[in-house]
Chains A and B, each alone.
Chain A
Amino acid sequence: MSTRLATGGRLLDKGRALEFTFNGKRLKGYEGDTLASALLANDQMMVGRSFKYHRPRGIVASGAEEPNALFNMGAGGKFEPNQRATTTELFDGLTCASQNHWPSLEFDIGAINNSLARFLPAGFYYKMFMHPRPLWKHVYEPFIRQSAGLGKAPRDRDEDTYEHFYAFFDVVVIGGGIAGLLAAREAGRAGAKVLLMEQTAHWGGRAPVDGGTVDGRPVDKVVEEIVSELNEMNNVTLRTRLMGAGVYDHGYLMGYERLTDHQPQAKGPRHRLWRIRAAQIVTATGAIERPLSFAGNDIPGVMLASAVRDYAVDYGVSIGDRTVVVTNNDDAYLTAITLKKLGLDVPAIIDARPQGAGALAEEAKALGIRIETGKGVAKVKGGRRVTGVAICMQAGEGAALEEIACDVVAMSGGWSPVVHLWSHCGGKLLWDNENAMFKPDVDKAPTGAAGEAFVVAAGAANGALKLADTVADAHAAGRKAAKSAGNTPMSGDAPKADSSLENPMQPIWLMPQGAKYELRAKAWLDYQNDVKVSDVQLAAREGFESVEHAKRYTTLGMATDQGKLSNINGLAILSDALDQPIPQTGTTTFRPPYTPISMGAIAGEARGPVFQPLRRTPMHDWHEANSAYWEPVGHWRRPYTFRKTPGEAIDAAVSREITQTRQSLGLLDASTLGKLVVKGPDAGKFLDMLYTNMMSTLKPGRCRYGLMCSENGFLMDDGVVARLDEDTFLCHTTTGGADSIHAHMEDWLQCEWWDWNVYVANLTEQYAQIGVVGPNARKTLEKLSDDDLSAEALPFMAWTDITLAGIKARAYRISFSGELSYEIAVDAGQGRALWDKLMEAGAEFGVTPYGTEALHVMRAEKGFIMIGDETDGTVIPQDLCMDWAISKKKDDYLGKRAQARSFMANTERWKLVGLETIDGSVLPDGAYAVTDGTNANGQRNTQGRVTSSYHSPTLGRGIAMGLVHNGPDRMGQVIDIPKVDGTVIKAKIVPPVFYDPEGKKQNV
């Protein structure tokens, strides 16, 4: 059993006991524990079930590479699934629960998959769940949904807050181990502005556990000295619990800081996402130990040798009383020696290398540890916990030589540099034959804006695994980065370190090398996703030879640890199966983030009301106070309608607004409409190119409705243009088009007609605009103004400057409703005052403010098009029968040439008509009209579609507009429009203008 030792625990404060809850059990740990170490101290080795076979899973590692120990953590608004126990610092009151089992961790129904394992190889789901189709929906999918999935999805809104933080540095060093510390010190001494980040809570990385000396002094002391030296430097920032999450183009670096995960009661944001620009990045990210592939290597109690050592030294935790060490390198001997010195039993070191280790072997022997060289593990015995190992000749097929009773197997298959951050932005890798690992190719680093290399790998992350090499490499890396960032490194030699690692490792990808199928099918590569040696070999046999294909077919490396443990072993098995060298197989792509980061951190502050900026018209507060039912329109909020009483139905409110406006008086806040001023001697010429109509002939004082097309010929915007004076036009755009049309104008002015003398300014927010609409509109304005507003002085499609309620205003006599209508523009600051005056003056006419829906219905009653309803980016003005708005006199305008292309000029295009349902009901918006026959897919042929559809309170029936094949020539014909429920609505083709076709009401 695993237990807490009486002594030891470098990181613990044994004076501070903490209590936490695992699966409802109350357990004790100490300040400084990780959740993993505290669980192990309480003999909780088994922590979950695997994804596919639901096999028992124990803790394997001690850091970010842990694949098994994932928990549902917390409760309510602080609940979060898939939290990794090895990187979760223990705090008082922590609650967690294991995942992926039912009904309990100890007894799990899904474990039946384990006995079916030989029928569930790689690709099983792909092969099995194809046919017949009904089974997929009703049998397979529910089954998979029930059995798949790790943690539970949170139910409550996240209670915590998060933030983004922008920072700029000359040199950012990722990793606070001995290499990172040394690199940061060199860069700091050179005067560079440095950030040193460490993902855990502690400095030094593995060095204090692994030991060794630097310049004759113990490495843990050296770590403390460097940290205090860095703390003294004003140009160096040090941060623990800050992970380098991703490296991106041009020195962009994402950091993930966990501020309160270890102290959830603390105030302030929980996580902080650092968005850093660095001139140079040093990746001192260390190395991760690899498992060995032998049968039963997934049984709880089989751990990485380095992790066993970590738990003993850092947390004073013994994983078990009897530990068998299995290795192909010298490093794991340190684990055996450490355990033995702590008084624990190490029955044997099984070293696959015939020659064994160097000095460390002598030391182990002196401690009385039995060493078996050239041997391997044939099989691990045990179910929920290791009970022993059968050893065999590594060179053989797995015949057991003897069984050794033990409760821990500490394995080491060598080390892989953490090259993730080096690789994120294009850094290339080299295969190092001596250490059987990929390491950074220093000549092919990620490059920045000027083509310069901007990432330097340092220490173990650069393949310098021995302490002496690590120290020298990191020293050089810090200097190189500082120099590249424009600083001058100080003179001085690298510190000298010593290392007890002597003999080279020997790649062991399968143990024993000739393992039979029965053994290979129990030799795990990916513990969480249940990928075994036999699965990768099967993938290769079935033709998934590319590493990316094999990955997806087997799910190797697709678990939450993203292959940190499994990838190299899997690549080696694949390469062997394909009979090609490992570098030829290559690696899968390393993608950020390095370990999963919270969604909260990604969102930062952007949630709730500050998710995005809200644009408010000057009358926004009035609307808010008068029961506006809001509709988002771009970043604006516009009232969809105003409810007169809290209980008024939305559609009733809309009908009331329309009827009252048509009968007497309505007010519309039209401030969101785009208002672009186009000015200059060439303004008329410019607008002639932008609009399909002739704008240069417009007289000052007059307005003209215009259409704007893209160079593709498609209608993109519309609106009324007013000529303010000889040189100046004011172009109204749609609300959504204000910014894009402004940009469109700038594009043509700057990039095509840059010699034309025209300037454009977007004055959308400078003016408040109010539509005063209805038969009593003029009377209302006359109450507030001494200016002549008669039909003669201000005819339809004219504008004039007036004074209204003492406010300087511009009155445009334009109508989007078909009623007598004025749009009054005033300085934005006067908008609310004018609105109040108009409400007051209109009171005697029963004035009603109306929203966007009433606006839409009234324009549809009049057959006016709406950009985005009648247009969708594939519609040209000719489709909408708007040839009257296309100048025949102009040689050119944007879209003219495109509209002459054969498909555009085709007379068979669908064209705009009105649609009147026979039964008076409302057609579904976007519905298609069908015709005889079916297409190649067996679907009904179509002959048109509904573009706008409303209930018209004015006419008391449903009205619609639509694009119909040869529509204008088919007046009176009835077409079929099916609904999604299968019923069909019959609609008659009619002219699109339903109300006042002569336009008498607007022209009075």
Chain B
Amino acid sequence: MMILTCPCCGVTGEETEFHQGGEAHLTRFGPGSSETEFHDYLFSKENPKGVHLERWRHAYGCGKWFIAARNTVTLEVYGTYAAQTTEPPQDIKDTLSAKVPGWSWREFA
């Protein structure tokens, strides 16, 4: 059972306090989008072995969504950051670069 720190309220809690919410930084495609765009938005998700950016909600805490950068193999948590962003903040990218040289995730590296 992992330990996560909520960037909103600052609480470090057990995994059971949080709900996982799938891949982060999705771009929503709505009416007018092509079949491929919409299909990929709904169903084609990252499933990396290694660095992953994923959404979590502090469900039994402050209720806020945030994004965790973590390793799906070692479960190392590189950092968490607020959900109101379209890309990982620079300090998270720096941490990833220091710990996982050459990392990449979707369009980010």
Contacts known (A743-B59, A747-B57); A449 close to B76, Cβ less than 8 A: yes
Q: Which of B3, B32, B65, B99 contacts A451, CB < 8 Å?
A: B99
Within residues 245 to 264 of chain A, which ones have a CB less than 8 A from any CB in chain B?
Answer: 248-252
Task: State in angstroms the CA–CA spacing of A743 and B65 once bound together.
Answer: 10
Determine if A449 and B2 form an interchain contact, defined as CB atoms under 8 angstroms apart. Answer: yes
Contacts known (A249-B75, A898-B38); A754 close to B2, Cβ less than 8 A: no
Complex contacts, B28 vs chain A, CB 8 Å: 711, 752
Q: Which of A448, A743, A897 contacts B30, CB < 8 Å?
A: A897
Task: State in angstroms the CA–CA spacing of A248 and B16 once bound together.
Answer: 14
Determine if B77 and A450 form an interchain contact, defined as CB atoms under 8 angstroms apart. Answer: yes
Contacts known (A250-B1, A747-B65, A901-B35); A447 close to B57, Cβ less than 8 A: no
Determine if A447 and B74 form an interchain contact, defined as CB atoms under 8 angstroms apart. Answer: yes
Contacts known (A450-B76, A451-B99); A249 close to B38, Cβ less than 8 A: no
Q: Which of B31, B33, B64 contacts A891, CB < 8 Å?
A: B31
Within residues 45 to 80 of chain B, which ones have a CB less than 8 A from any CB in chain A?
Answer: 55, 57, 59, 63-65, 71, 74-77
A648–chain B nearest beta-carbon distance, Å: 42
Complex contacts, B19 vs chain A, CB 8 Å: 743
Complex contacts, A7 vs chain B, CB 8 Å: none
Complex contacts, A251 vs chain B, CB 8 Å: 3
B73–chain A nearest beta-carbon distance, Å: 9
Quick check: is B90 within 8 A (CB to CB) of the other chain? no
The listed residue with most B CB atoms (<10 A of its CB), out of A450, A750, A892, A901, is: A750
Q: Which of A448, A711, A712, A746 contacts B65, CB < 8 Å?
A: A746
Quick check: is A271 within 8 A (CB to CB) of the other chain? no
Quick check: is B83 within 8 A (CB to CB) of the other chain? yes
B53–chain A nearest beta-carbon distance, Å: 13
Quick check: is B11 within 8 A (CB to CB) of the other chain? no
Task: State in angstroms the CA–CA spacing of A91 and B1 once bound together.
Answer: 38
A691–chain B nearest beta-carbon distance, Å: 15
Quick check: is A116 within 8 A (CB to CB) of the other chain? no
Which chain A residue lies CB-closest to B67?
A751
Contacts known (A747-B57, A747-B65, A897-B31); A711 close to B42, Cβ less than 8 A: yes
Quick check: is A859 within 8 A (CB to CB) of the other chain? no
B36–chain A nearest beta-carbon distance, Å: 12
B80–chain A nearest beta-carbon distance, Å: 11
A891–chain B nearest beta-carbon distance, Å: 6
Determine if A747 and B2 form an interchain contact, defined as CB atoms under 8 angstroms apart. Answer: no
Task: State in angstroms the CA–CA spacing of A249 and B65 once bound together.
Answer: 22
A734–chain B nearest beta-carbon distance, Å: 19
Complex contacts, B74 vs chain A, CB 8 Å: 426, 447, 451
Quick check: is B44 within 8 A (CB to CB) of the other chain? no
Task: State in angstroms the CA–CA spacing of A447 and B71 once bound together.
Answer: 11
Task: State in angstroms the CA–CA spacing of A449 and B55 once bound together.
Answer: 17
Complex contacts, B63 vs chain A, CB 8 Å: 746
Q: Which of B76, B77, B84 contacts A750, CB < 8 Å?
A: B84
Within residues 24 to 43 of chain B, which ones have a CB less than 8 A from any CB in chain A?
Answer: 28-33, 35, 38, 42
Quick check: is A900 within 8 A (CB to CB) of the other chain? yes
Complex contacts, A447 vs chain B, CB 8 Å: 74-76
Complex contacts, B89 vs chain A, CB 8 Å: none
Complex contacts, B3 vs chain A, CB 8 Å: 250-251, 277, 449
Within residues 891 to 908 of chain A, which ones have a CB less than 8 A from any CB in chain B?
Answer: 891-892, 896-898, 900-901
Which chain A residue lies CB-closest to B43?
A712
A898–chain B nearest beta-carbon distance, Å: 7
Contacts known (A250-B75, A451-B76, A751-B55); A892 close to B31, Cβ less than 8 A: yes
Where chain B touches its partner, the secondary structure class is loop
Which chain B residue lies CB-closest to A250?
B3
A552–chain B nearest beta-carbon distance, Å: 25
Task: State in angstroms the CA–CA spacing of A752 and B3 once bound together.
Answer: 26
Q: Which of B1, B57, B76, B84 contacts A743, CB < 8 Å?
A: B57
A166–chain B nearest beta-carbon distance, Å: 10
Which chain A residue lies CB-closest to B63?
A746
Which chain A residue lies CB-closest to B39?
A901
B94–chain A nearest beta-carbon distance, Å: 15
Determine if B64 and A750 form an interchain contact, defined as CB atoms under 8 angstroms apart. Answer: yes
A755–chain B nearest beta-carbon distance, Å: 9
Determine if B30 and A901 form an interchain contact, defined as CB atoms under 8 angstroms apart. Answer: no
Determine if A747 and B21 form an interchain contact, defined as CB atoms under 8 angstroms apart. Answer: yes
The listed residue with most A CB atoms (<10 A of its CB), out of B3, B71, B83, B99, is: B3
The listed residue with most A CB atoms (<10 A of its CB), out of B30, B35, B55, B57, is: B30
Q: Which of A451, A747, A751, A897 contacts B33, CB < 8 Å?
A: A897
Determine if B31 and A249 form an interchain contact, defined as CB atoms under 8 angstroms apart. Answer: no
Task: State in angstroms the CA–CA spacing of A711 and B64 once bound together.
Answer: 21
Within residues 731 to 769 of chain A, which ones have a CB less than 8 A from any CB in chain B?
Answer: 743, 746-747, 750-752, 754
Determine if A249 and B1 form an interchain contact, defined as CB atoms under 8 angstroms apart. Answer: yes
Complex contacts, A249 vs chain B, CB 8 Å: 1-2, 15, 75
Contacts known (A751-B65, A901-B35); A892 close to B30, Cβ less than 8 A: yes
Q: Which of A250, A277, A901 contacts B38, CB < 8 Å?
A: A901
Determine if B84 and A754 form an interchain contact, defined as CB atoms under 8 angstroms apart. Answer: yes
Complex contacts, A897 vs chain B, CB 8 Å: 29-33, 38
Complex contacts, B55 vs chain A, CB 8 Å: 751
Task: State in angstroms the CA–CA spacing of A449 and B2 once bound together.
Answer: 7
Question: 0/1 per residue, A257-284, Cβ < 8 Å to B?
Answer: 0000000000000000000010000000
Complex contacts, B71 vs chain A, CB 8 Å: 451
Within residues 444 to 502 of chain A, which ones have a CB less than 8 A from any CB in chain B?
Answer: 447-451
Q: Which of A750, A751, A752, A898 contacts B42, CB < 8 Å?
A: A898
Which chain A residue lies CB-closest to B66?
A750
Task: State in angstroms the CA–CA spacing of A250 and B21 once bound together.
Answer: 21
Task: State in angstroms the CA–CA spacing of A251 and B15 once bound together.
Answer: 13
Task: State in angstroms the CA–CA spacing of A872 and B74 once bound together.
Answer: 37
Q: Which of B2, B83, B99 contacts A250, CB < 8 Å?
A: B2
The listed residue with most B CB atoms (<10 A of its CB), out of A250, A277, A752, is: A250
Task: State in angstroms the CA–CA spacing of A900 and B38 once bound together.
Answer: 11
Complex contacts, B2 vs chain A, CB 8 Å: 249-250, 449
B92–chain A nearest beta-carbon distance, Å: 14
B45–chain A nearest beta-carbon distance, Å: 13
Complex contacts, B64 vs chain A, CB 8 Å: 750
Complex contacts, A250 vs chain B, CB 8 Å: 1-3, 75
B9–chain A nearest beta-carbon distance, Å: 13
Complex contacts, B57 vs chain A, CB 8 Å: 743, 746-747
Complex contacts, A712 vs chain B, CB 8 Å: 42
Which chain B residue lies CB-closest to A739?
B59
B16–chain A nearest beta-carbon distance, Å: 11
Task: State in angstroms the CA–CA spacing of A789 and B64 once bound together.
Answer: 42
B14–chain A nearest beta-carbon distance, Å: 8
Which chain B residue lies CB-closest to A747?
B65
Contacts known (A250-B2, A449-B2, A712-B42); A896 close to B31, Cβ less than 8 A: yes
Which chain A residue lies CB-closest to B59?
A743
A276–chain B nearest beta-carbon distance, Å: 11
Contacts known (A249-B1, A250-B75, A750-B84); A896 close to B30, Cβ less than 8 A: yes
Seen from chain A, the residues whose Cβ lies within 8 Å of a Cβ on chain B are 248-252, 277, 426, 447-451, 711-712, 743, 746-747, 750-752, 754, 891-892, 896-898, 900-901
A-B contact pairs, 8 of them (CB 8 A): A248-B1, A252-B1, A447-B76, A450-B76, A743-B19, A754-B84, A896-B31, A897-B32
List 9 additional A-B contacts (Cβ < 8 Å) besides A751-B83, A892-B30, A897-B38.
A250-B3, A448-B76, A451-B71, A743-B59, A747-B65, A750-B83, A900-B31, A901-B35, A901-B38
Instruction: List the 4 closest pairs (A to B, CB-CB), nearest first.
Output: A451-B76, A754-B84, A750-B65, A250-B3
